[in-house]
Amino acid sequence: MLNERNWIVTEKHFDLKRQNHAETIFTIGNGYLGTRGAHEERYPGEERTTFIHGVFDDVPIVFTELVNAPDWLDLTLLLGGELFSLSEGEILTYQRQLDLRNGLLTRSVEWRSPRGVRWQLTFERFASLANPHLLCQRVRATAFENVTLEVRSTLSGETDNLNYKHWDWLGQGFQRNSAWLHLRTRSSGIELGVAARLSVNGGGNLQQTGWDTRNAPTLVTTTEMKSGEAVEIEKITAFYTSRETNDPQGAVRRALETLPKRAWEGLWESHARAWQREWEACDVLIEGDDHAHLAVRFSLFQLLAAAPRQDERVSIGAKALSGYGYRGHVFWDTEIFMLPFFTYTRPEVARNLLSYRYHTLEGARKKARENGYKGAQFAWESASTGEEVTPTWVPHPTDRTKLIRIWTGDIQIHISADVCYAIWQYWQATGDDDFMIHRGAEIFLEVARFWASRAEWNAENGSYEFTDVIGPDEYHDHVDNNAYTNALARWQLLTALKVLAWLEGRNPDKAAELRRLLELDENELNRWREIGEKIYWKQDAASGLIEQFEGYFQRRQIDLRSLEPRMQSIQSLLGIEGANDANILKQPDVVMLAYVLPELFDENSLRANYEYYNARTDHTFGSSLGPAIHAIIACRIGKPDEAYEHFMRAALADLEDVRGNAHDGIHAASAGGIWQAVVFGFGGLRFDPEGPKPFPGLPRHWKRLVFRIKYRGQFYEYDLRNSPAGGDEG
C-alpha cells in the first residue's frame, strides 16, 4: 500500500474567519502531546493549544481539564523592522499542507510587506514520533532586498485555558542558545520542564541575546540578509513532565544538549521512519473515491497522533489532543469507537488504553460506593483518577442566566459494560491472556458486582430491571429498561462468569487471589447468573422490533422529514424537554446494540429495527458517533448506497466541518467509527472459529478496497474489488 495519492490535506487561502476550524484540521501530535495548527505568528481569536496526555488540573464546573502547555510554536519575525503578519501587507501566494504520511505541516507564503519588501517564507513543523519529547520547527526566509531579520522566540508560562490559568512559575534561565522554563500546575502539582533552542543559519553579523522577562524567557537573534539570500531558522523544543521523570527541568536541558548543531535532518529521518512503520500496520487504500480515501486516512492519522505508546495511565479523550471540547475527558467513545482500530492494527496501544481503565479502577470503585452500589462503576467522563468528572450543571447555551443539569454522570451506566466489551474484544483478537489474567478479569468481576447491586427485582414482571438510566441516545434521559443498557448488562454478567471459569482453569492461583481479595463467594456468583438470565427484555415476536426503553413507542411521534431543511439539532429545535418527550433519537441506540451484540438479531429483526430507528434519528445534527454505525448496519442489510451516505457524513465531520463544530477539536469517536465502517461495514469483516473473513459490499463507485489487520499475532491483508457487474469479489 502506501500509494502516492490522497495523503495531503491542503488549505489554499489564509482565512481568519475559519482559523479555528483549520487549527483543528492541522493538529499534529505524537501520542505524547498534540498541538493545534495555530500559526507561528499570532492572530486575534486563535486557539493555540498544546495538550500533553495526563496533564490535568482542577477547574470549576468541569472539575478537571487537560492543561494548555506553554506554546512551542511562537516565532515572531521582524523583517526589515516590519512585523510579519498575514493581516498586514499583501499575500501573493499561500498554501498550507499537512502530510498524513508523517505529520509534517508546511506553510508556504509569498508576502509583500506594508513597506513593499517581497518575502518568500516556508514554515515547517513536526512533533517527533521517534522521540516524543522533541518538537521541531524550521523556517526558510528569503527577502528580495537587503534587510535585517530579527527572530524572537518566547517560552511563555502565561498560557491559559480559555482565560483560566493553571501554571505556577518555578524558575527560568538561558543556556547557550536555549531558554528554559520550569512550571507546576496549581492543584495537581504536575511539574513541567520546557526548553527551546533557536539557531539561525545564513546572513551576516549574527547576534543572539536573551530577554529574561519573568515567566516568558525570550531568545532574540538578528542577522543581516542580502537580497535573494535564504536564511534558515531552526527551533527545537523539548518537553518533560514529572509524570515521566523526577527532574523534568534537567531532562529537557539534557535532551537539547545532546543534539547536533543542526538537528532537523537527523530528527526528521527517525521520525519519518517511525510514521512509516505506523502506516504499514494500518493503511487503508480506496480506489475510485479520492474524497473518501483522504478522509479515511485523515481519521487514522488523528487517531495515531493521539495514541499513547509509552504510557498506560492515559487514554484518548473525545477530542483527542486537538481542542478544548470536553476538556480532555474520556468517554465510551474510546472503548466502543476508537479501540477496535487499535485492537486490530496496533494491539500494544489498545493494551495501554485498556490498562488506563485498570489503573482507574479505584476511582470506579469509589463512584459505585458513593452511589450506594457495590463493585466498580466507571465514570461517564473520566480523567486521571477515574472519578466522575462529568459536570453536573452547565450554563444554558443561549440563556446564560440559566443552568442545565447534566445527568449523564449520574445515570448513563452502560459505560461500565462497554469497557468490559472492549476488553473482551481485545482478548479475542489478540489472545493476550496475560492482560486478562492480571487486569481484565478483575475489572470484569468488579463491574459484574456493580450490575448485580444496581439491578432491581420487579415481582410483577418477574424480571430484573434497570430504571432511571440514560442509554446511548442522550435525547432521552431518566428512562427505564433501555434495551442497550439491559442487553449489555446481561452480556457483562454472564461473560464475567465465563471469564472467572476460564481463569480458574488457566491460572487457579490468580482466580483464588481475586476471590479472596474481592470476597467473592458462590452465592454471589449464582446471583449474577440469576440476574443476568432474568433481565427485562422485550421484543415484538412478529416484527422483531425492540422498544428502545419502556414507553418509547408512546412518545410524541414526529416525522423528521416535516422539519427539513434545518440547520440545528432536534434538541435545539424542540428544547431539552421537547426532545425528551418526542420519539427522535440523537444517535443509534437499538441499532447500536445490533452492532455491538449482533447475535441478538436475526436478519428480519436487524432490518426491522434499522428501518424503524433510522427514520427517527437526527443524523445531521445529533451525535457524531451515529453515522458510522448506521453505515455498518446499512451494509449488513444490503443497502450500500444508504451506507455510503451515512459514511460520508461521518468521514467529512472534521475535514468539511459538516456539523459546524470542528473548531472544538476532532471527532475522535467518529474517526474510529470510520475505520470500523470501512472494515466491518464495506469490507464486511467477520470472525469465525477459522479466523477473519470478509463479506464485502463496496459502494458502487469504489473500484478497490485494501486494508490490513492483525489477528492473534498474524497479519491479514484484504484486497477487495468491485467486479464490473457491480458485485464484489474477495
Provide, rounded to whole angstroms, the least separation between the CB of residue 668 and ligand BGC: 8
Restricted to residues 468-497, the positions that interact with ligand BGC (CB under 6 A) are 472, 474
Q: How far is the CB of 380 from ligand BGC (least distance, A)?
A: 8
Q: Which is nearer to ligand BGC, 293 or 586 (CB)?
A: 586
Based on its alpha-carbon atoms, the radius of gyration of the chain, rounded to whole angstroms, reads 27
710: amino acid identity, one letter? K
**Binding of ligand BGC at residue 66 (CB under 6 A)?**
no
We find the least distance from the C-beta atom of residue 147 to ligand BGC, in angstroms, to be: 49
Nearer to ligand BGC, 75 or 669 (CB): 669
Residue whose CB is less far from ligand BGC, 301 or 331: 331
**Span near ligand BGC by CB under 6 A; candidates 197-205, 330-338, 450-458, 496-504:** 330-338
**By C-beta, is 307 or 669 nearer to ligand BGC?**
669
Distances in whole angstroms, Cα of residue 497 to Cα of each of 441, 448, 492, 502: 10, 9, 9, 9
Beta carbon nearer to ligand BGC, 405 or 686: 405
For the record, the C-alpha cell of 318 comes out as 473525545
d(CA 172, CA 253): 12
Amino acid (1-letter code) at residue 234: E
Q: Is residue 589 at the binding interface for ligand BGC, with CB under 6 A as the rule?
A: no
How many angstroms separate the CA atoms of 438 and 428, rounded?
A: 16
Q: How far is Cα 368 from Cα 387, in angstroms, rounded to an integer?
A: 10
Q: Is 100 in the site for ligand BGC (CB under 6 A)?
A: no
Give CA–CA dist 210/420, Å, rounded: 54
Q: 299, 343, 587, 605: which one contacts ligand BGC (CB under 6 A)?
A: 587
Residue 339 exposed, middle or buried by CB count within 10 Å (0-12, 13-18, 19+): buried
Size of the site for ligand BGC (CB under 6 A): 12
Report the SS3 class of residue 508. helix
Nearer to ligand BGC by Cβ, of 69 and 633: the residue is 633
Paired sense of beta strands 714-722 and 704-711, if any: antiparallel
Selection from 650, 656, 653 nearest residue 666 by Cα:
653
Q: If binding is defined by CB under 6 A, does position 439 make contact with ligand BGC?
A: no
Tell me the window of 328-336, 390-398, 447-455, 644-652 that interacts with ligand BGC (CB under 6 A): 328-336
Pairing state of beta strands 178-185 and 33-35? unpaired
- In the set 113, 623, 676, 722, which binds ligand BGC (CB under 6 A)? 623
Under rule CB under 6 A, residue 333 binds ligand BGC:
yes
Rounded to whole angstroms, the Cα distance separating 198 from 236 reads 7
Based on CB atoms, which residue is closest to ligand BGC, 286 or 666? 666
Q: How far apart are CA 335 and CA 351, in angstroms?
A: 11
CB-based burial label for 499 (10 Å; 0-12, 13-18, 19+): buried
Residue nearer to ligand BGC on the CB measure, 281 or 406: 406
Residue 595 in the binding site for ligand BGC (CB under 6 A): no
| Binder of ligand BGC out of 231, 306, 307, 318 (CB under 6 A) | 318
How far is it between the farthest Cα atoms of the chain? 90
The number of helix segments (H) and strand segments (E) in the chain equals 21, 30
Preceding peptide of 565 cis, ω within 30°: yes
The DSSP result for 606-629, as a single string, is HHHHHHHHHTTB-TTTS-TTHHHH
Q: What share of the chain is helix, strand, coil (3-state, %, to 5)?
A: 35, 25, 35
Q: Is 83 helix (H, G, I), strand (E, B) or coil?
A: strand
- For ligand BGC, the closer of residues 347 and 472 by Cβ is 472
**Among 402, 374, 376, 404, which residue's Cα sits nearest to residue 390?**
404
Residues in region 669-688 near ligand BGC by CB under 6 A? 669
Which residue in 702, 585, 587 sits closest to 640, CA to CA?
702
Is position 599 annotated as part of the catalytic site? Answer: no
DSSP string computed for 3-31: -SSS-EEEE-S--GGGHHHHHHHT-EE-S
Question: Quick one: 327 or 449, whose CB is closer to ligand BGC?
Answer: 327
Please identify, among the stretches 325-333, 419-427, 435-443, 601-609, the one whose residues bind ligand BGC according to the rule CB under 6 A: 325-333
- Which CB, 570 or 720, lies closer to ligand BGC? 570
Q: For residue 577, which amino acid is it? A: E
Residue 331 makes contact with ligand BGC by CB under 6 A: yes
Torsion angle defined by CA atoms of residues 660, 106, 292 and 677, in that order, rounded to the nearest 10 degrees: -80
Q: Quote the CA–CA distance of 415 and 482 in Å, as a whole number.
A: 13
The verdict on 586 binding ligand BGC (CB under 6 A) reads yes
| Interaction pattern, residues 173-212, with ligand BGC; x per rule: CB under 6 A | ----------------------------------------
How many Cα atoms occupy the beta-carbon half-sphere of 515 within 13 Å? 17
Q: What is the contact mask toward ligand BGC in residues 629 to 668, using x (rule: CB under 6 A)?
A: ----------------------------------------
Rounded to the nearest whole angstrom, what is the least distance from the CB of residue 473 to ligand BGC in the complex?
8
Binding positions for ligand BGC, 409-428, rule CB under 6 A? none
Catalytic residue chosen out of the listed positions 124, 387, 474, 522 = 474
Among 349, 511, 545, 625, binds ligand BGC (CB under 6 A): 625
Do 373 and 335 form a contact (C-beta atoms < 8 A)? no
Cβ burial, residue 489 (10 Å; 0-12/13-18/19+): buried
Active site residues: 474
In the complex, which residues of this chain contact ligand BGC (CB under 6 A)? 318, 326, 331-333, 472, 474, 586-587, 623, 625, 669
